[in-house]
Amino acid sequence: MPSPTECDRARAAKDPRFDGLFFTAVRSTRIYCRPVCPAPTPKQSNVLYFPTAAAAANAGYRPCLRCRPELSPGATWGGEDTVQRALSLITDGALGEGSVETLAEKVGVSGRQLRRLFLQHSGATPITVHTTRRLLLAKQLLTETDLPVTQVAFASGFQSVRRFNAAFTEGCGVAPTAIRRLRTNTPVGVLKLRLAYRPPLNFPLMLSFFAKRVMPGIERVNADSYERVLGPVDATTWIRVSENESKPELLLEIVNVDPRTIPNIVRRVRRLFDLDADLSAVHSVLSEEPLLVRGIERRPGLRVPGGWDGFEVAVRAVLGQQISVAGATTLAQRLVRNYGGQRIDGPAGLDRSFPNPESLVDAPLEKLGLPKARAATLRSLASAVLDRRVGFHAGQRLDDFVGNFIALPGIGAWTAQYVAMRALSHPDAFPAGDLVLQQVLGQGKRLGIRETESRSQVWRPWRAYAVLHLWHLSGETTQE
């Protein structure tokens, strides 16, 4: 969290670069706001600052109806590894049915220690963080969609409308029906949600990255948007992501959705476009390297593209070993056509689903034109996922994931780091054996793996961003 003096200045300037990095609470109104709130500036003596919305809620403050804290971009809390991994698991729904003790066990600490760490870094307990996120999502759905209150309750993780009404009224100070009256006009059957980020974001550059790796039949990249189909093959959900040209936010359209899956969709879209990154923090570390300074000057809004599904990213990475991006796309298309599901209700041109591990574990993949060794690697990968020897769930330590992944035949350190970077959205993933990185850093000569790894240490924990900048500086977007 910024210092009180920095918070004062950012609040007075309504600086969007600080949006999500702290929240302003006003004693006289018992309301908390974003630093960009358009309401008249309160007296300094009435103001308190909190590092998170959950901390403000924990202190008894209610979210502002004007600046809408639910639209604030995400933020990291000091880079503490245990807290970040636990937060990733909470985002993935770990406390929807599980306990804090179970969550703590997953990240390797006691429940008491995890509560202490969360209070230290976020100002609130894990349960309060989880509850505040649910209520803010519900507030957004009530304001921006025409979903019935019952479906909003289920979408935000509540099992009964009665419990939802009570929790919402207590946390937000008003009943859900009062928020619903503030709803803007929305097309029937289409959910359109606003996903805020902290600028800058080079959305066209992100689309260009995805366009070169598009999975035909599953996703489509247009000049100004990204589309994808998901869900069961007999109940297809369609999404479209575009840019709001007037505000730092993306627009997410969702058609034909089970409300209970909305949090998962929002989470995946945010990771896909790296919306929770704080590039000012990233750039302050990378700016120690002159090469990266040049990259940042040329592409200040460059972020790390995520992946929709971990298994999908991993399969695609194996398909692309030692061949071009275009060649990998051709193989991926064959894989989807032969082993993916056929949708019966998808939009034109988006009528497939990606193969699941069960469909690949014994598949004769050599018939797709794959070398025997690579086909065997894909089958081993599918088997490892089914046996839970490898997983793409949130909250993993980078070294643990890489160690498990490279234990599979045909998987090297480069592939493991690349998958960690895109499937796990790990900000410190770094494929030191990448030829392009070695050549760009060597500026005329190729560095060795050990020297490349050593050179990267000062960029931690943001080495994945350095990778993207160096790839772009080479004139090659990536080697997949």
Q: Which residues are catalytically annotated? A: 33, 434
* Secondary structure element (H or E) that encloses residue 226, with its range: strand 225-230
Torsion 179-180-181-183 (CA) sign: positive
CB 356 within 8 A of CB 348: no
Interacting residues of 35 by C-beta distance below 8 A, sequence separation 6+: 7, 10, 11, 14, 15, 18, 19, 21, 22, 23, 24
The 10 Å Cβ neighbour count of residue 458 is 12
CB 165 within 8 A of CB 138: no
Q: How far from the centroid of its chain's Cα atoms is residue 38's Cα?
A: 28
Alpha-carbon separation of residue 223 from 220, 361, 382 (angstroms): 10, 36, 34
- Is residue 354 packed enough to be buried (19+ CB in 10 Å), middle (13-18) or exposed (0-12)? buried
| Cis peptide, bond prior to residue 431, ω within 30 of zero | no
Query: Which segments within 291-429 are labelled E, that is strand?
Result: 341-342, 352-353
Q: Which residues pair with 19 in a beta bridge?
A: 22
User: Which DSSP category does 19 fall into?
Assistant: B
Helix-then-strand count for the chain, H and E: 23, 11
Which residue shows structure tokens 């080697």?
479
Q: What is the Cα–Cα distance from 15 to 64, expressed in whole angstroms?
A: 18
Counting Cα atoms < 13 Å in the Cβ hemisphere of 331 gives 25
Select from 304, 285, 267, 282 the least CA-distant residue to 74: 267
DSSP string of 235-291, one letter each residue: S-EEEEEEEETTTTEEEEEEES--GGGHHHHHHHHHHHTTTT--HHHHHHHHTTSHH
Which residue shows structure tokens 């839970």?
388
131-153: b (≥16 Cβ within 10 Å) or e:
bbbbbbbbbbbbbbbbbebebbb
Radius of gyration of the chain (CA): 23
User: Which DSSP category does 301 fall into?
Assistant: T
